[in-house]
């Protein structure tokens, strides 16, 4: 799963904790404490990464997590969707091409690439296979 580092800083004027992502510099969030800031940061990051799809750009891979640095771990499904999207960009495959190969309609592809939509992982896996890739899952501590 992808883990994006997040920088947490305290804003003494507003007495809130600010969350910023070095890999997505325009993505910001805040909360009343670190826990709330991290919870809000997860939603903000997911929304911000969706903008890359809207712009038809590759989603940046997360930079390495430094010791004691906070991070957001994306879900397995969101990670798989990001990997699918980035592979589509790399191979020059458009959404319409994928829809044709999967024998489905464009709204289904839009939902498949929507991080807010609870797609079936099997469909993401099938799409990756069409691109010559295999999804690999492993258990980590």
Report whether pLDDT(141) > 80.
no
Q: Following CA atoms 51, 22, 83, 97 in sequence, which dihedral angle do they give, to the nearest 10 degrees?
A: 30
- The pLDDT score that the predictor gives to residue 56 is 94
On whether the CB atoms of residues 11 and 17 are closer than 8 A, the answer is yes
Percent of the chain with pLDDT over 90: 89
pLDDT tens-digit readout, 5-23: 999 999 899 999 999 999 9
On whether the CB atoms of residues 1 and 73 are closer than 8 A, the answer is yes
Rounded CA separation 97/17 (Å): 43
pLDDT band at 95 (very low <50, low <70, confident <90, very high): very high
Closest to 69 (Cα-Cα) out of 113, 22, 110: 22
Closest to 58 (Cα-Cα) out of 35, 91, 18: 91
């Amino acid at each position: 799963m992808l883990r994006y580092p997040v920088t947490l800083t305290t804003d003494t004027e507003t007495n809130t904790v600010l969350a910023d992502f070095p890999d997505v510099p325009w993505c910001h969030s805040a909360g009343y404490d670190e826990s709330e800031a991290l919870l809000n940061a997860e939603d903000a990051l997911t929304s911000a990464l969706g903008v890359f799809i809207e712009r038809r750009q590759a989603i940046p891979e997360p930079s390495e997590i430094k010791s004691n640095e906070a991070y957001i771990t994306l879900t397995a499904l969101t990670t798989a969707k990001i990997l699918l999207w980035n592979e589509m960009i790399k191979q020059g495959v458009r959404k319409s091409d994928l829809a044709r190969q999967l024998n489905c309609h464009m709204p289904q592809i839009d939902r498949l690439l929507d991080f807010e939509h609870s797609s079936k992982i099997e469909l993401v896996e099938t799409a990756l296979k069409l691109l010559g890739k295999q999804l690999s899952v492993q258990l980590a501590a």
